[in-house]
Chain A
Amino acid sequence: MKSFAYVKATNVEDAVRAITAEPGAKFLGGGTNLVDLMREGIERPDTVVDVTGLPLNTVEELPGGGLRIGALVRNSALAADRRVRTRYPMLSQALLSGASAQLRNMATVGGNLLQRTRCPYFYDGTSACNKREPGSGCDALDGFNRGGAILGVSDSCIATHPSDMCVALAALDAEVEVRGLDGTRRVPLADLHALPGDTPEIETTLAPGELITAVELPPAPVAANSRYRKVRDRASYAFALVSVAAALEVREGTVSQVRLALGGVAPKPWRAREAERILLNGPADEAAFRRAAEAELATATVRQGNAFKPGLAKATIVATLRELSRELSTEGAGR
C-alpha cells in the first residue's frame, strides 16, 4: 500500500474543504471497501479524510413517516432499527444479506452507496479494465463474467454494482443529500449512479469533493409488505447473482401499488420501471408477474458466462411477487 496522509475531519465543512484542497484525497468511512482497494493498489489516495467522527450517525423521523438516515450510520445499526424493520423490511433484509456481520458493523451507509464493483478484472491490476484504466479494454467481456451485468451495459464495461442496500433504496425512491463547497443538494438515488457508456470510470453523478451526508426515505406504506430476495452461490458472504427488492399492495385482486428493483444484473441499482408499469392496475397473478418480468428483461444483453441471468432474474421476480401476494391474501383472510 502506498503511504498516505491521514486527516480526521471534525465537521462537515472541514471535511469538504480538506478533500477539495487535495486532488488525490478520499473520504474514509468504515473502510471496508476503500482499504481493500488501497491494499490492491487500485485506489492510491495521497490523503485519506476520515469522516467517521462527523455527527452523521443517527436515524431520524421525517414528517409523514419517512426516515432520514445519517451517512455514517453503520449497516448493522440500520438493519436493526425497529422503524426500518417495520416500515421498510426490504431494506433491513437487504442490509443483512450483504457481506458478513463484522463488515456490516464497520460499513457505513454513505460508503455502501459508493462501493465499487467486484468484477475480477477490475480487482486484478494486470488485466485490461476500462473502469480502472480508461481505454485499456475490458477483459471481462470474453473472460469470467458469471457475475457480469445484463442490463444497462456497454461494450466498454459489464461490471455490476455490488450493493444490496442500494437495490432496496432504489425501490423506495430514496434521496441522497450531498454537501459540496457550494452548499447542499439532493439527488434521487436513481440518479446517483451512472451507467458505463464509454466512460465506465465515472460511476456517480457526484462532483469531486462532494460528501454524502444523509439518505432520506419518503413515507411508503406499501413497503410494509416488502421483501428482499438474494440469490447467490453460497448461503452467506457472496455477492448477488440476482436480487429482487419488491413491495406489493393488492386491492380486490388488482395491483394498486408496486415497487420493484433488481440487483446483480446492472452497473447500478436497477429500478424495474417497465415491470412496475405492466403490473400496476393489473391482476396479481402468476401470469401477470411472468409478463412483467419478461418485459423488464427484454433488453438484456448476455455474455457466455452470464447467459443464465435473465432466466434467473425472471424466476426470482415471479417467486418474490408470488410470495408477497400470498402473504397479502393470508393476512386478508386473517382479518
Chain B
Amino acid sequence: MTVTQSEAVEERATGTTKYVGQSVDRLDGPAKTTGKARFSAEFPYPGLTYAAVVHATISRGRITAIDTAEAKAVRGVVDVLTHENTPPMKPVPKGIPTSMNAVFSAMLSGTSVNYLATDEVHWNGQPVAVVVAETPETARYAASLVRLTYRELPATLDFAAEEPKAEPQKGGLMGGASTDKGDAPAALAAAAHSVDLAFSTPPHNHNALEPHATTAVWDGDRLTVHDSTQGISGLRKHLSQRFGLPEKRIRVLAQYVGGGFGGKGSFWAGTLLAVLAARATGRPVRLSLTREGVYHTVGGRTPSTQRVALGAGADGRLTALLHTSVSRLGQVGGMPENITGSSRHLYACDNIQLRQSVVRLDLLSNTFMRAPGESIGSFAMESAVDELACELGMDPIELRARNEPERDPVGGKQFSNRRLVEAYRVGAEMFGWRERDARPGAMRDGRWLVGMGVATAYHPQMLMPANATVRIDAAGKVVVQCGLHEIGVGAATAQAQIAADELGVPLGSVRVEHGDSDLPQAPFAGGSVQTASAAAAVVAACAKLKRTLLGLARRSAASPLRGRRLEELEVRDGGLYHGGRGQTYAEILAGAGRGHAEAVIKANMLGFVAKTVRDTRRYVKAASGAQFCEVRVDPDTFEVRVSRWLGVFDVGTVINTRTAESQLRGGIVMGIGMALSEQTLIDGRDGRIMNPSLSEYHVPVHADIPRIDLHCLNEPDPISPLGVVGVGEVSITGAAAAVANAVRHATGKRVVDLPITLDKLL
C-alpha cells in the first residue's frame, strides 16, 4: 500500500505510536540558531594555542632543508614543529595486523603517512610543518615564512594519461570487484539493439560547511580531543594506537559537526597534528583547517572513467549488461570504490559482466564521499539505460519496468524490500510524466528548451553494532545515552522520538546524550547506517528498562500491574497500563524507593555478526527510488537550469519526515552539483589543486535549485530495526543521470563527461 506521509502520520497518531513518522522539529535547532551549540573549534581552554599547517608544494620528493628561523622569530610563535624536532607518532600499522584495533586504525587512517616523522613528500599539499602560536593570525603568518627546499622525484599525476594502464581492483570490504554471469560480450555482439558508451566523472570534494577542526588537550597522560569527526569511537582507537595510550585515557568529543559527507569519516592530518602539537608544546592546541587546507589534506571523491554497454531485444528486455570502471587511489592510501556495485542489482539480465580497475597516483588519497561508488556508477548506468530507451524508441520508465528483476539478478537472492516499479508509477503520476513529448527538443517554455528525465536511485543498506543506555528518573525524565554523531541530520532527534514512543512518554521529557566517546559506543555516521543501527540498541534498551520497571512494580502488593506480563501492557502517558489501570514510571520508582532505573544494552558482537551473515545470505537490502528531473536549456548559450524535481523513495519506515526529507533533498542538491558544476581541478603537471575554495569549486547556489518534491513510500523494511532503511545517501544516486537524461531530452545531446557544462552542448 502506498500512503503519503501526511496520511501515515494521521494513521499513526491514532495508534500507540505518537512521534515516529511525524514531522518533528530537530531538538538541536534552538541551540544552533541561538549560537549556543559549540563546534570543535569553539571550546575555550586556559592557555589555548593555535596551530597552522605548512603544506608541501611538490608532489613527490624529499625535504632537503627546512628553515624555520624567520617563522620562529615572529612574536607570539610558540614553536615550529617539523620532522627534525618533533617526537614522532607511532606509524600507521601495515603488513600483518597484530590486533583488531590495528586493523581498524589502518583502515580508517586517511593516509599511511606518518606526519612530521619523515622527510618524504607524497603529494602536493602534504603537511610538512606546523606552527603553534598565541593567535591564529600569528600562526598563519608565521607558517607563510617557513622555507622548504626539496629534492624532487618524478611523480605520476595525470589520471587521464594513466587510466589506460589501470590494474584490476581487488575485492574488498565494499564488495566484489568483478562479476560474471553468462557471456555478456557475446550477447552484446548478438543483440538486436545496443548502446555502448564511455563516461567520465571528475574528482569531487565534500565541502562540508564546517572546515575540519580539532581542539586537543593533554592532561598528563590523559587526552581530550574535540574533533569534527563522523566517528568518535574509531578516532579514539586510532589515537590510542598512534599515541600509544590506552583508550580509557582518551576522550573524543564531537557533540555537533557541521556536515561531513564522508570527509570526516576517516582520520586526517589536521586531527593528528593538533594532538601531536599539543603533546610537543605542552599546551592545548586548536587546529582549524582553512578551506584550502581541507582540500590539501582531506581526500575527496575519485575521478572515474566508465564503460556501459547494453544489449536488448526489440521488446526492450536486456540480453547483455556490461559495466567497467577505472578509479584512482593515492600511493599512500585510498579506498577502491565499488563503482559498478549497484549494477549487480538493478536489471534482470542473463549476461552480466562487471569489472573494476584502479590506478595509483602521487596524489592525496581518495576517500568516501556520499554514496561512494553508487553516485558516479549510477550516472553511467542510468545514462546508458536512457540512451537504450532512445535507441529503442521506448519510454525509459517502461524500459525499466520490463527489466525489473524478481530476484537479485546475479546471486538470485530475495530482495528484502523492492518497490521500484511502484516508485516510478507514483512518481510519473505526480510529476506529469504523461505530458512528456518524447521527441528531443519538442518541448518549449518561451525561448527555453524543456527536457524531462528519470533515473533509478539505489543504495545498499548495512547495519553496525550499537550500544545504548536508557535511564529514567523519579520525575519521569528519560536520558538516552548513545555515542551518536549529530552531523546535521537530526540523528539525536530521531532516537528521542523512538525512545518516547517505546516508553510512552512525551518527547519533551527525553534527552539524548551523544557525541562523546565516554558514552556507549555507536557506529560512525556513514554508510547510511547510523539511525537504523542505533535504533536497534535504543529499542532494546527501552524494552529492557520496561521489564526492569515492571519487575519493580510487581514487587509491590498494591501495584495494579502485579501479575501482569509486559506483552499484555500498553505503554502510554509515562507508564505501563492494562486497560484503564496502571502506574506511571514515577509511581513505580517511588513505590520501590528508587531514584531512577536504567537499562544497558551492549551489542553482542558474535550474535550481530551471525545475524548479519544470515541476512546477507538470504536477502539483498537497499534503499531505492525514482528520480524525476525537468531542465530548461537556453537555446543560444546552452546554460542548463534545473526547473523541477521529484524524488520518490523507498527508505522503509520514516522516523522523522522533516529531517529525512532534509537529508533526501540535500542528496539531490549534491547530485545536481555533480551533474552540472562540481569538479576539483587538479593540475596534471604538478598535482596542484587549482580551485580549493567555495568561490571556484562550484557547489550549487540557491538560485540553481528549484523546489524539490519528495515522496516516501513509507513501508517498513521487513528485516531492519523498526523497518528503517538509511536515507543519507540514496538520493544522490541517480540524480546526475536524471539531469543528463533530461538534457538529452531537451537537446538531443548525450553528455557523457561530467559536469555538464555549456561548452559540452554548444
User: Which residues of A approach B to under 8 Å, CB–CB?
Assistant: 1-3, 41, 118, 120-121, 124, 126-127, 139, 142-144, 146, 231-238, 241-242, 308, 311-312, 315-316, 318-319
Interchain CB contact under 8 A, B698 and A238: yes
Contact B637 A120 (CB under 8 A): no
Q: Given A126-B57, A316-B636: A308 and B762 within 8 A (CB)? A: yes
Is B67 engaged at the interface, CB distance under 8 Å to the other chain? no
Q: Which among B342-350, B699-707, B744-752 touches the partner chain? A: B699-707
B701's partner among A142, A234, A316 (CB-CB below 8 A) is A234
In this complex, what residue of A is CB-closest to B691? A120
Quick one: CB contact mask for B469-492 with A, threshold 8 Å, 1 for yes? Answer: 000000000000000000000000
Query: Do the beta carbons of B704 and A144 come within 8 Å of each other?
Result: no
How many angstroms between the C-alpha atoms of A308 and B637 in the bound complex? 11
Annotate B689-722 by CB proximity to A: 1 below 8 A, 0 otherwise: 0110001101011111000000000000000000
Contact B690 A143 (CB under 8 A): yes
Task: Check A144 against B702 for contact (C-beta < 8 Å).
Answer: no
Q: Name the residue of chain B whose CB is nearest to the CB of A232.
A: B639
Cβ of A127 and Cβ of B688 under 8 Å apart? yes
In the assembled complex, B614 has its CB within 8 A of some CB on chain A? no
Leading 5 A-B pairs by shortest Cβ distance: A235-B703, A308-B759, A319-B636, A236-B703, A120-B690
Judge whether B637 and A316 touch: CB under 8 Å.
yes
When the two chains form their complex, are residues A144 and B681 in contact, meaning their CB atoms are under 8 A apart? Answer: yes
Return the contact of A121 from the options B637, B690, B701 (Cβ within 8 A): B690
Which of A146, A231, A234, A312 lies at the interface centre, i.e. has the most chain B CB atoms within 10 A of its CB? A234
Q: Of B636, B701, B757, which contacts A237 at CB under 8 A? A: B701
The CA of A143 and the CA of B696, in the complex, are separated in Å by: 15
Q: Give A118 to B676 CA distance when docked, in angstroms.
A: 21
Q: Are B141's CB and A3's CB within 8 A? A: yes
Question: B283 in the interface, Cβ–Cβ < 8 Å?
Answer: no
Q: Closest CB-CB distance, B622 to chain A, in whole Å?
A: 32
Contact size class for B?
20 to 34
Q: Which residue of A lies closest to B699 (CB)?
A: A234
A231 and B141: CB pair below 8 A? no
Query: Which residues of the other chain, A, contact B688 by a CB distance below 8 angstroms?
Result: 124, 126-127
User: Closest chain A residue to B685 by CB distance?
Assistant: A143
B144 beta carbon closer than 8 Å to chain A: yes
Chain B, 666-693, contact with A by CB distance < 8 Å: what is the 0/1 string?
0000000000110001010100101100
- The smallest beta-carbon distance between A209 and chain B, in angstroms, is 27
Q: Are B698's CB and A233's CB within 8 A?
A: yes
Q: Which residues of A contact B677 (CB under 8 A)?
A: 233-234
B701 touches A235 (CB 8 A): yes
The CA of A233 and the CA of B636, in the complex, are separated in Å by 15
Q: Using A120-B681, A126-B688 as known contacts, say yes or no to A234 and B636 having CB atoms under 8 A apart.
A: no
- Please judge, given known A-B contacts A3-B141, A233-B677, whether A118 and B762 are in contact too, CB under 8 Å: no
Closest B residue by C-beta to A305: B759
**Nearest A-chain residue to B760, judged by Cβ:** A308
Contact: B637 with A231, CB < 8 Å?
yes
Q: A100 — nearest CB in chain B belongs to which residue?
A: B701
Alpha-carbon separation in the docked complex, A319 to B57 (Å): 45
Chain A minimum-CB-distance residue to B761: A308
Cα A120 to Cα B680 in complex, Å, equals 12
Query: Which of A121, A146, A237 has the most C-beta atoms of chain B within 10 angstroms of its own C-beta?
Result: A237
A319 pairs with B637, CB closer than 8 A: yes
CA distance in complex: A2, B695 (Å): 23
Measured between beta carbons, the chain A residues less than 8 angstroms from B639 are 231-232
For B637, B639, B758, the residue with the greatest tally of chain A CB atoms inside 10 Å of its CB is: B637
